[in-house]
Homo-oligomer: A and B are copies of this chain.
Amino acid sequence: MDRRQEILEAATKSFSLFGYKATTMEQIAKIANVGKGTIYTFFENKEVLFQEIVLRIITEMKQEATKVIKEDASFQENAYAALMKMLEFRDTHQLFAKIIAEEQEWRTPAVKQVKAQIEQAIVSFIKQKIDKYMNLGEVRQVNSELVAYLLLKGYLAFVNDWNLTHEKPLTEQEITDFFQDTIFQSLII
């Protein structure tokens, strides 16, 4: 495999496992089986490398979400399916959880920025979908940006915060059904 790819995979692994701050360039180089200097022939610096990885994951998530959205299905059905799919990432991509945790703990500027970037990307993705169904007349006229924002923040609250104050975490099913039952429900005409 080409070196660039090796580096990306090693870095992804390390960032996901240890977070941004605790990942050293030397460690990445070791995992990728390259010299440290090599990394810098492909990526300007640590931050750019990190951003590239995050961008890749966002892209992957968008693709996955898009994949489950069926043209002939209703907004309700598609919203449900997409949300379910996103929840699958809960386990696989510890990276986001790590980023959020790290932002709280160390306030690393790079991490803060990337977190905002992710948030922005997700919100605009959701907004776009809502707008589409608004134009199709399936969804009421609402402030789609606020709805998207609420969906993201609500999602994160249930996935990340809920456990902090409650015994058992919510299942994917519970979360999805709940959203279905409240927010999505309120949107359709």
Contacts and interface: CB of A to CB of B under 8 A. Distances in A.
Contacts of A146: 158, 170, 174, 178
Interface of A: 104, 116, 119-120, 142-143, 146-147, 149-150, 153-154, 157-158, 161-162, 164-165, 170, 174, 178, 181-183, 185-187
Given A149-B162, A153-B153, A153-B161, A182 B120 contact: no
A157 B161 CA distance: 13
Given A182-B183, A182-B186, 8 more contacts: A120-B165, A142-B181, A143-B178, A146-B178, A150-B157, A150-B182, A153-B153, A153-B157
A9 B66 CA distance: 56
Copies in the complex: 2
Report the 4 A-B pairs with minimum CB-CB distance, sorted nearest first. A186-B186, A153-B157, A185-B186, A182-B186
A157 B165 contact: no
A182 B142 contact: yes
27 contacts: A104-B104, A116-B165, A120-B165, A142-B181, A142-B182, A143-B178, A146-B170, A146-B174, A146-B178, A147-B182, A149-B157, A150-B154, A150-B158, A150-B178, A153-B153, A153-B154, A153-B157, A153-B161, A154-B154, A157-B157, A181-B186, A182-B183, A182-B186, A182-B187, A183-B183, A183-B186, A186-B186
